Amino acid sequence: MITAGIDVGALTAKAVVLDFDTGRPLGRCLMPTGASPEQAGETALAGALEDAGLEADAIQASVATGYGRGAVQGVDWRITEISCHARGAWHLMPEARTVIDLGGQDAKAICLDEAGWPLDFEMNDRCAAGTGRFLEVMAAALDVQLEELGELAASANSAAALSSTCTVFAESEVISLLAENRDVAEIAAGLCETIAQRTMQMTNRLQVRPELVLCGGVALNAGVHRAMERALGMKIVVPPEPQLVGALGAAILAGERAG
């Protein structure tokens, strides 16, 4: 059976076309969500179909997820990001017992049982702190590319202490530190520490058990990955395409429901 998962996030829309029987992704697409979640979902799916070399009528079951899932037309089911990220991470790593998704606009931590079903979760979707948006604002303030921030942080000898996790206050702090001529790499390291601390706060109530899988776009930031490993005192696995985990999980759930 060929299935599709479409994850329309706050910043990026992702689609995966899956050969459900083998578990092998045949095509994928990642693009900015822009102003229309409906259009983004449609275009991302078309991109994944093209990547797979398939026509739309090849899809036998589909699931939409992500904050924009309600706007996606023509899908069989709409399922929460919690369920889809859990399924996707567990498919990639059946030993996964905790999944942390750091996206553009929200952050989630999910505890899984042995079969990969969510047992409990925590979510921060109320403010930008601890999300990709926080890092985007800070990269702009530091005048560095978002993609460079992680390696820059890793090159620092120490991390600048930032007292605020709030995006607005932290940006003012960064500007003050730059005015004091503090090393940009140390500030970048301090920002990665801030994300790690904020994520730790979110997971406080949960039982964080290994293996821990980190996904979402922020997982591409090596500085955040390392800072989180230090903060949690645990090895953290980042899958090769961390932004596609939710869409992959959606495609798997589509196949399971159609089963």
Strand pairing of 2-8 and 61-65? parallel
Enumerate residues 6+ apart whose C-beta is below 8 A from 191: 134, 135, 138, 149, 153, 162, 170, 174, 223
171 binds, among Mg ion, ligand ATP, none (CB under 5 to 8 A by kind): none
Determine the 3-state secondary structure of 16 from DSSP: strand
Contact 14, 44 (CB under 8 A): yes
* Site for Mg ion contains 88 (CB under 5 A): no
d(CA 234, CA 237): 10
C-beta atoms surrounding 192 within 10 Å: 29
* Site for ligand ATP contains 9 (CB under 6 A): yes
Least Cβ distance, residue 144 to ligand ATP (angstroms): 11
d(CA 168, CA 188): 16
Token pair of 81 as six digits: 């990001």
Which residue's CB is nearer to Mg ion, number 78 or number 182? 78
Least Cβ distance, residue 101 to ligand ATP (angstroms): 6
* Numbers of helices and strands, H then E, in the chain: 8, 10
Least Cβ distance, residue 229 to Mg ion (angstroms): 22
Least Cβ distance, residue 106 to ligand ATP (angstroms): 4
* Site for ligand ATP contains 34 (CB under 6 A): no
* Site for ligand ATP contains 123 (CB under 6 A): no
* Site for ligand ATP contains 223 (CB under 6 A): no
130 binds, among ligand ATP, Mg ion, none (CB under 5 to 8 A by kind): none
Determine the 3-state secondary structure of 130 from DSSP: coil
Least Cβ distance, residue 97 to Mg ion (angstroms): 21
* Site for ligand ATP contains 93 (CB under 6 A): no
* Site for ligand ATP contains 217 (CB under 6 A): yes
* Site for ligand ATP contains 216 (CB under 6 A): yes
d(CA 151, CA 156): 9
* Site for ligand ATP contains 132 (CB under 6 A): yes
Q: Identify the CA nearest to 149 among candidates 162, 132, 161.
A: 132
Determine the 3-state secondary structure of 28 from DSSP: strand
The residues in 171-210 that bind ligand ATP, with binding defined as CB under 6 A, are none
Which residues contact Mg ion (rule: CB under 5 A)? 9, 103
Which residues contact ligand ATP (rule: CB under 6 A)? 9-12, 66-67, 103-106, 132-133, 135-136, 146-147, 150, 216-218, 220-221, 243
